[in-house]
Amino acid sequence: MKKINIVLFGVGNVGSTLIKQILETRQSILKSLNVEINIPIVVNSRIAFFEQKTVRPSWETDFKAFGHPYKISNIINHVKAEGLQNVIAVDATASEDFVKNYKELIRNGFHIVAANKAANTLSEKFYKDLRVELKKHNRQFLYETNVGAGLPIIKTLQDLHISGEEVTKMRGVFSGSLSYIFNTFSNENKLFSEVLQEAREKGLTEPDPRIDLSGKDVGRKLLILAREIKIKKELSEITIENLIPSHLNGKSSIAHFIDNQKDLNIGFDERKSNLKKDEVLRHIGELDVASGKLEVKLVSEKRSSPFGSLQQADASFEIYTKSYGERPIVIQGAGAGAAVTSRGVLSDILKLSEKIEFRN
């Protein structure tokens, strides 16, 4: 039997859902794959909970009752003191600061699975240095959920690149939350602010919807894909259309934005009124390899097109290659939500279990 020990960083929507899914599937995974998944350490931004064996269904109560302040060195020392092997740090945070701990974790024997996009979207130097560290210490880093939640976008692109296939262009509806917003807004007689509020209440947007509307999150995803095919770019080099009026930008509070989100209606109503009868609004990211241009923007699409026919919070990706010509590889499905993202993280954990040499 193979034993995996997970140190989970982040117990928000994705992290807590991941724990639930592991508890529900632990026995079936053990039976089918002969892999035992343990979670001896659970951590948020303030406190860490060290369990003697692994988390139980009562973990939230235990976490609150027995968690205490920590440093990364405390986590590393505990892992060493307990003699834990096959340790995977699962990053379910959204913190740019936390990823700066990756190198120290790698040096101390941790593999990494990340839903957090930050490590792949910081400077090109950080990106390269991290991979040097991984190779030096023979550690693995999986991050399929960085783009497309549970959809196999990154793996498909990696396989194409490794096989020598020349990717010429990528185009997609990257954001499940913005997909839902513009699918609904284009098809229903509702104000944009009403649709945005619905998306917030469904938990599809970030707590601060400006993160979605700024286009920066889609820009990060586009950058991740570009770097997978060895295009050297920085986030600052991506052309991003910001959909937020200047007086509602990030310098004001979230509460101010929510209270005044009706100010978004005039601009979006105008864009909607300019659509032809067979058109809808879609928020897309595009990468053209020949020109090296990366762009995030709001566009009109024919209702009958692959992007125009999307429903709910579906994401869709088109990968154009030299061999396939003008007929792209299309990957489409649910592009948002804690359940599909955490399931993708669990899938990465199981893929990693196949890659690493186990010690019990």
Same domain, 123 and 171: no
- Cα dihedral 151, 235, 180, 10 sign: positive
Considering only 170-184, 261-275, 330-344, which range has the smallest mean pLDDT? 330-344
Residue 354 dihedral angles phi and psi, to the nearest 5°: -80, -25
Cα–Cα distances (Å) from 352 to 104, 152, 240, 356, in that order, read: 19, 15, 34, 6
* Interval 286-316: pLDDT, tens: 999 999 999 999 999 999 998 999 998 899 9
Instruction: Clarify whether residues 21 and 102 are in a common domain.
Output: yes
CB 265, CB 192: distance < 8 Å? yes
CATH no. for residue 236? 3.30.360.10
Q: Kindly state whether residue 128 falls inside one of the protein's structural domains.
A: yes
**How far does CA 58 lie from the centroid of its chain?**
27
Is 308 a domain residue?
yes
* Residues 168, 108 within the same domain: no
Cα dihedral 73, 125, 356, 17 sign: positive
Kindly state whether residue 182 falls inside one of the protein's structural domains.
yes
Answer whether residue 80 is part of any domain.
Answer: yes
Predicted local distance difference test score (pLDDT) of residue 1 = 84
CA 323/CA 91 separation, integer angstroms: 36
Indicate if 138 and 188 belong to the same structural domain: no
Same domain, 239 and 351: no
CATH for 106: 3.40.50.720
The phi and psi torsions of 282 (rounded to 5 degrees) equal -140, 140
- Strand, coil or helix: 136: helix
Amino acid identity of residue 68, one-letter, is: H
Give the pLDDT confidence score for residue 38 in this predicted structure.
95
The question of whether 100 is a catalytic residue gets the answer no
Number of CB atoms found within 10 A of residue 324's CB: 14
Are 133 and 28 in the same domain? yes
- Asked whether residue 215 is domain-assigned, the answer is yes
Tell me: do 109 and 227 sit in the same domain: no
Task: Write out the residue range of the structural domain in which residue 116 sits.
Answer: 2-149+340-355
pLDDT tens across 254-275, in order?
999 999 999 999 999 999 999 9
Distances (CA, A) of 234 to 7, 98, 121, 123, 161: 30, 20, 8, 6, 20
Q: What angle do CA 173, 174, 180 make, to 5 degrees?
A: 70
118 and 206 inside one domain? no
Please determine, for residue 338, whether its predicted confidence score (pLDDT) is greater than 60: yes
Residue 319 counted as domain residue: yes
Report CA 20 to chain centroid distance, whole Å. Answer: 19
Task: Answer whether residue 274 is part of any domain.
Answer: yes
Q: Do residues 163 and 56 share a domain?
A: no
Number of domains in the chain: 2
pTM: 0.92
Same domain for 238 and 189, yes or no, is yes
Rounded to an integer, what distance in angstroms lies between the CA atom of residue 116 and that of residue 272? 34
- For 348: left if phi > 0, alpha if psi spans -120 to 50, otherwise beta; the answer is alpha
**Catalytic entry in 221, 276, 277, 322:** 221
Q: Are residues 308 and 163 in the same domain?
A: yes
Is 281 strand, coil or helix? strand
* Domain contains 360: no
- Do residues 314 and 260 both lie within one domain? yes
Torsion of CA 232, 319, 157, 283, to 10 degrees: 70
Q: Is 336 helix (H, G, I), strand (E, B) or coil?
A: coil
Q: Which tens digit of pLDDT belongs to each residue from 16-75?
A: 999 999 999 999 999 999 999 999 999 999 999 998 778 888 898 989 999 999 999 999
pLDDT for res 360: 55
pLDDT of residue 51: 86
- Mean pLDDT, residues 172-200: 94
Angle between helix 192-201 and 265-273 (nearest 10):
110
- The identity of residue 306, as a single letter, is P
